[in-house]
Structure formats: structure tokens, C-alpha cells
Amino acid sequence: MDLRTTYMGMELKHPIVASSSPLAGSVANIKRLEDAGASAVVLFSLFEEQLKHDSAAMEHLMTAGTESFAESLSYFPEVDDYTVGPDTYLDLLRRSSAAVDIPVIGSLNGITNTGWIEYAQLMQQAGARGIELNIYYIPADLTTSGREVEDRYLDIVKAVKAAVTVPVAVKLSPFFSAIGSMAKSLDDAGADALVLFNRFYQPDFDLDRLEVAPNLQLSTPDEIRLPLLWIAVLYGKLRASLGATRGVHTPIEVVKYLMAGADAVMTTSALLKNGVNYLSTLRDGLKTWMEIHQYESVAQMKGSMSQQNVADPTAFERANYIKTLESYKGNYA
């Protein structure tokens, strides 16, 4: 059985990729992911904002109260090799790329134009086989228009593409008025893959403390619906590969994503919940499913239920909406 797939121009031995998460935070863990059968690993994101914050915090906290009192002109030893820059990240990238055979993809979350370009180049130099741009932007400013947001995405992709030679993926949010058009524009701008969709930080309220509280929740299988829809719609219409992420908890979701048209299927929550070795369960489950259903290859499955390949293409559009409501009524009314 042929599980091979091509993602961002790279041939992977199967489509299940360990996505950007804290799991990929050390060489040992990345090695474990490879041993468990991951076909590629996307490192956790390098947050330019975090680097800047850390740098400022270090400067502030290590110099607070210094040069004020004659007995304690400083409070810390002079540390020359203290790095709050990307060195730690790049070092991990370098060491993990050397330690494993599978492709290691760097993930970058920038805030400035220079940051996007500089860090992407550094990642390439450190051995990243590809770069995933995790563009995280909440346009809380009410004067920012949708067009401006879109331009911002496109500018970043163009700039990074011009600066590196390795393939570049864009992990994007579903909050565009016209995702299809946006996907096309990103494709035109040179993106080698689109990863649908990233999960925004959506804060919760702590009612005991009356504070806004960060509250990270793992995805649920239900969450595959939105990416599934758009992968199915986009399949076959773009040059870029399609990566699916969100809600992969069992081999069934892997199958669905592949049938919608994904070139690679990414998972984090399932691994965080079940451990790294669950990767092999997913892979073996995919294989078993294909055996039972007599599929010969992933290539055969890929896009088989995409919009262009299903019997009723309108099933993905408004008609589908009506049907859903009707079925709801039928079941429970």
C-alpha cells in the first residue's frame, strides 16, 4: 500500500505530520515523534513578539535597581551569552534537523516585516526544510479594513518568499470574508502550502477573580468541519499544497481530510492527550481503513470527496446549509 504524499514539494512517507506544538520543543521529543512514525515535524512557533518581550523583560528585570545604591550596583553576574534572540530556537532547529531523517519545518509568528524575513532566513540557514508562517493577527483596531488585513498577509508571504528558497506554508485563520479568493491570492503570492486553519487564542473569563483568563483547550473532532469544507472547496484549484489541521483525533478524521483533498494532515491535540506514540495508531488506523476499503494509495483517496469530485458540488455551498437544518428538524423536531 502506498501511503506517500507530497506536501510543499516534499515527498513524505505518509500524510500524518506532527504539527506545531510544545511537543516539538526538544531534540529528544522530535526524535520520539519520528520514532512514533511522524512523516514530518513542524516545530513550535518562534514568536517574534515573545522574543522582543523577553528581551525587554530581561533588560528591565536584570537592571532594575542597579546603579542606585553604593553597595549593590548590580544584582546579577555579568552574563555574556544570555540569548533572548532566536538562537535557542535556531539551535533546536539545527540539532533536530541533524538528528532525524524526516523533514523538520520551522514555524514563525512575526510582528514586523523585518522580523518575518530575518527569522525565516535564519531558519533556512539552520536547516529548516520548509517554513510555516503562522500569521496571527486580530484586527482589534476598528479602523482596519478587511482589505488591509488581506494585504498584510500577502505582503508577508511575498517578502518571505523573496528571501528564502525553501518552501513556505501559510497557516491562516478562517476569518476572511472570502476564503477562496484569499487562498487564491496567497497561492498567487507564492505560498507553497496553505494550512487550514489556525486556532486563535480566545480568552475566557475567570468569574472568581473577574479577570480575563487565557484558557487553552484542546481541539475536538467536531472542529474538522470548517477546514474540511474549505479543503474540499479549494482542492484542485490551487498550485499550493493543502495542509489540514484541527480536530484530528482518530484515523477517521485523517481519512476525511485526505478525501477532502489535504496533502498533509496535522495533529497536536490527539498527541497531547494520548501521547506521542498515538501517531502510529493514527497511521496504522489509516492503513487499516484503506485496507478494509480497498484503497491502494493515498493519492487515490486524495480529493476524492472534494467539491469537484463529489456527486453534488452544491453540497458544500448554501444548499448544504438548508439540508443540514432540515435534517436537524427531521431528527429532533
Partner 1 sequence: MTERQVTTIDGNEAAAYVAYRVNEVCTIYPITPSSTMAELADQWSAEGVKNIWGTVPLVMEMQSEGGAAGAAHGALQTGALTTTFTASQGLMLMIPNMYKIAGELTSAVFHVAARSLATQGLSIFGDHQDVMAVRPTGFCLLASNSVQEAHDMALIAQAATLEARVPFIHFFDGFRTSHEVNKLTLLTDDEIRAMIPDDLVLAHRARALNPDRPFIRGTAQNPDTYFQSRETVNPFYAKVPGIVQAAMDKFAGITGRRYNLFDYFGDPAAERVIVIMGSGAEAACETAAYLNQRGEKVGVLQVHLYLPLSASHFLAALPTSVKSIAVLDRTKEPGATGEPMYMDVVNTLFEAQATGTLPMAILPRVIGGRYGLSSKEFTPAMVKAVFDELRKDQPKNHFTVGITDDVTFTSLEVDSNFIIESDQVVRAMFFGLGADGTVGANKNSIKIIGDDPEFYAQGYFVYDSKKSGSQTVSHLRFGPDPIRSSYLVQSANFIGCHQFNFLDRGDVLKRAAQGAIVLLNTSPHEPEEAWDRLPRPVQDEVIAKKLEVYGINAEKVARDNGMGTRINTIMQTCFFAISKVLPRDKAIEKIKYSIKKTYTRKGDEVVKKNFEAVDNTLINLRKIAVPATATSTRRLPPIVPAGAPDFVQKVTAMMMAGRGDELPVSALPIDGTYPSATTQWEKRNISTFVPIWEPNICIQCGNCSMVCPHGVIRSKFYHDASLEKAPAAFKHAPIDARGFPDIRYTLQVYLEDCTGCGLCVEVCPAKSKEQTGRKAINMAIKEPVLEAERANIGFFETLPEVDRGRVDFSTVRGVQFLPPLFEFSGACAGCGETPYVKLLSQLFGDRLLVANATGCSSIYGGNLPTTPWAVNHEGRGPAWSNSLFEDNAEFGLGFRLTADKHLGYAQELLRALADKIGADLVDDLINAEQITETDIRRQRGRLAELKQRLSEIADPRARQLLAVVDQMVRRSVWIVGGDGWAYDIGSSGVDHVLSTGRDVNILVMDTEVYSNTGGQMSKSTPMGAVAKFAAAGKQVGKKDIAMQAVSYGNVYVARIALGANPQQALLAFREAEAYDGPALILAYSHCIAHGINMQRGLDQQHLAVESGHWPLFRYNPAVRESNENPFILDSPRPKIPLKKYAYNEMRYKVLAHTNPQEAEHLMDLAQQAINRRWTMYEDMAARSGDTFHPKFKP
Residues lying near partner 1 in the complex (CB under 8 A)? 51-52, 55, 58-59, 61-85, 88, 112, 114-115, 118, 210-211
- Choose between 61 and 99: whose C-beta lies nearer to partner 1: 61
CB of 47 to partner 1, least distance (A): 13
CB of 283 to partner 1, least distance (A): 30
- Choose between 209 and 318: whose C-beta lies nearer to partner 1: 209
- Choose between 55 and 274: whose C-beta lies nearer to partner 1: 55
- Choose between 118 and 150: whose C-beta lies nearer to partner 1: 118
Q: Distance (Å, rounded) from C-alpha 27 to C-alpha 306? A: 37
CB of 223 to partner 1, least distance (A): 28
CB of 109 to partner 1, least distance (A): 15
CB of 268 to partner 1, least distance (A): 21
Q: Kindly report the three-state secondary structure assignment for every residue of the chain.
A: CECCEEECCEEECCCEEECCCHHHHCHHHHHHHHHCCCCCEEEEEEEHHHHHHHHHHHHHHHHCCCCCECCECCCCCCCCCCCCCCHHHHHHHHHHHHHCCCCEEEEEECCCHHHHHHHHHHHHHCCCCEEEEECCCCCCCCCCCHHHHHHHHHHHHHHHHHHCCCCEEEEECCCCCCHHHHHHHHHHHCCCEEEECCCCCCCEEECCCCEEECCCCCCCHHHHHHHHHHHHHHCCCCCCEEEECCCCCCHHHHHHHHHHCCCEEEECHHHHHHCCCHHHHHHHHHHHHHHHCCCCEHHHHCCCCCCCCCCCHHHHCHHHHHHHHHHHHHHHC
- Choose between 65 and 139: whose C-beta lies nearer to partner 1: 65
- Choose between 64 and 311: whose C-beta lies nearer to partner 1: 64
Q: Distance (Å, rounded) from C-alpha 52 to C-alpha 288? A: 47
Specify the length of the chain in residues.
333
CB of 226 to partner 1, least distance (A): 32
Whether the CB-CB separation of 32 and 6 falls below 8 Å is answered with no
CB of 58 to partner 1, least distance (A): 7
- Choose between 84 and 310: whose C-beta lies nearer to partner 1: 84
CB of 41 to partner 1, least distance (A): 19
- Choose between 64 and 333: whose C-beta lies nearer to partner 1: 64
